[in-house]
Amino acid sequence: MSNSPMRRGVVAGRLPADRIGANFSDLHPPLDAHEAAVAADRCLFCFDAPCMAACPTAIDIPLFIREIQTGRPDAAARTILSQNILGGMCARVCPTETLCEEVCVREVSEGKPVEIGRLQRYATDALMAAGVHPFSRAAPTGRRIAVVGAGPAGLACAHRLAMKGHEVTVYDARPKPGGLNEYGIAAYKTVGGFAAAEVDWLLKIGGITLECGKALGRDLSLAALREEFDAVFLAPGLAGVNALGAPGEDLDNVLNAVDFIAELRQASDLSQLPIGRDVVVIGGGMTAIDAAVQARLLGALNVTLVYRRGRARMAASAFEQDLAAAKGVHIITNAQPVAVHGNGAVREVEFEYTVEDGGKLKGTGETFRLPADQLFKAIGQRLEGAPDGLKIEGGKIAVSGAGRTSLEGVWAGGDCASGGDDLTVTAVAQGRDAAEDIHAALEG
C-alpha cells in the first residue's frame, strides 16, 4: 500500500514502533517445562479420548500428553508429527476451543479444558529447537510426484510422499512457500518467522525440490505435469476474492482483507504500514477477524466488523469474536453492504439491516452509514483458473475418497478441494491422506 495524498486518513506510524511491537507479541506465550508438567497433570487420559476423535488429524492426544508428563517431550513431538507434520503451526492457529479442547472432559465438567494446543506447541517447539527431524526416507521408489501449492496441504502431502521414498517437486505461485501459514494468518499468532522456519525444518526429510514463483495456468499446465510426473497433487488454494457487488467498491482504499494480511505478514517494519483512522471490515470469518484485530493493533481509532447474518452464523469461533471485541473491534451483525460512498476514495459505507426468513436472507429496507477511510472485504475466496477436465463442485475441485479428482493420476486437497472446512489442520489431514492414497496407487 502506497502512502499517497489520495489515501487521506490512511497513514503509517499511528503508534510508535515499541507499542506496535508489544501489540503484535505472541497471543499465547509458550509454556515452560514446569508449566507444561502442571498442564499435562490435568489430563485424565480418557480411554475413549473424545479429544482425539475431535482432531481432524487424529493425533493421539492422551499419549503425547502422557509422554510430556513423564519427561519425554521429544517422544510427544514424534507422536504429534507422525499424524500432523505441521503440528507446530497447528498448535498456534488451530481453533482448539471448538475442536479437541471443546470436548475435553475437564472442559465439560469444570469449564476449563486441558491446554492441549499449548502442550502440543511445547513438544513440537522443543524438537524443532533441537534441530531434530524425527523421520527418515524409505528406499527410493523411482517415482516422481508433482505438488502444486506449498501451503499446508501441499507440504503435508510432499513430506509424506518423500517419507515413502518418492521424489517430489513442489511448485508455488508466490515468492515464498508456506501458503496460508506464511501469508494469511494474523501476525500475533505466529511470531518470529515461525512459518518459514517450519518449512525449512520440514524439508530436512530430503527428496523434496521447491520451485517458487510458478503458478498453474501461467507457468505450468496440468497436461504437462501429468506427462512428466507419475502423479499430481493440486493444492493451490483459493486465489480469487469475492466482490461485494455494491456500487463504489472500486474507490481507493477499498481493499481485499487477504492482501492486507499478506502485506502485513511480509512487512519488515509494521510501524511503516499505513492504516486508516476509521476502518470497516465486511465479513464473518477468520480473515475478517484477523484483519479487524490487526487494524486496531496498528493504531486504527475505530474498527467496525459488519456481518450480514447473526453472530451465531459467523464462521469465526466465539473465542475469536471475543478476542476482537476485547481489542476494541465493534461487531455489527445482520447488516449487508449496499453502497460505498466517496469522492475518489472511500468516505462512508452504506448498509442495510437484514433478517433471516426460512433460512433466506432478506433486506429490511432500513439503512445506515459508517464513516470509513479504509474498507476491507473479507467475504470469501474462490478458485481461479481450474484446468480443463477437472470436475468442479460448489466452486471447488470435486474430489472423492482421499482426494481423487475426475482425472486419472490427479489428486487435490486443501481449500481448493470440495469437502474441506478451511482450517490448516484439515488441509494437513487431506494432504497426508492423499499422499497415502497416491503411494498405494503407484505401488499397486
Query: Distance between CA 108 and CA 400 in Å, rounded?
Result: 35
Together in a domain, 230 and 190: yes
Report pLDDT for 387: 83
Report pLDDT for 7: 43
Together in a domain, 344 and 249: yes
> Looking at the domain assignment, is residue 136 inside a domain?
no
Question: From the first residue on, what is the mean pLDDT of each consecutive set of 10 residues in the chain (444 residues)?
Answer: 52 94 95 97 95 96 97 97 98 95 95 97 96 94 98 98 98 97 96 96 97 95 97 95 94 97 96 96 97 98 97 94 97 98 97 93 97 97 87 94 96 92 93 98 91
Together in a domain, 227 and 247: no
Grid coordinates 475478517 are at which residue?
288
Q: What is the CATH number of the domain that holds 336?
A: 3.50.50.60
* Domain region containing 299: 5-21+242-380
Query: Distance between CA 273 and CA 21 in Å, rounded?
Result: 13
> Of 129, 157, 173, which residue constitutes the final position of a domain?
129
Together in a domain, 218 and 150: yes
Q: What is the CATH number of the domain that holds 72?
A: 1.10.1060.10
Together in a domain, 88 and 185: no
> Looking at the domain assignment, is residue 215 inside a domain?
yes
Together in a domain, 197 and 325: no
What's the angle, vertex CA 267, arms to CA 276 and CA 283, rounded to 5?
50
Of 386, 394, 307, the closest CA to residue 354 belongs to: 307
Grid coordinates 497416491 are at which residue?
438
Together in a domain, 120 and 156: no
Q: Is the CB of residue 188 less than 8 Å from the CB of residue 261?
A: no
Q: Is 214 helix (H, G, I), strand (E, B) or coil?
A: coil
Together in a domain, 249 and 369: yes
Together in a domain, 288 and 364: yes
Q: What is the pTM of this model?
A: 0.94
Would you state the cell numbers that stand for residue 382, as one nine-digit string?
474462490
| Count of the separate structural domains present in the chain | 3
> Looking at the domain assignment, is residue 139 inside a domain?
no
> Looking at the domain assignment, is residue 227 inside a domain?
yes
Total Cβ atoms within 10 A of residue 344 = 11
Together in a domain, 17 and 69: no
Report pLDDT for 8: 52
> Looking at the domain assignment, is residue 137 inside a domain?
no
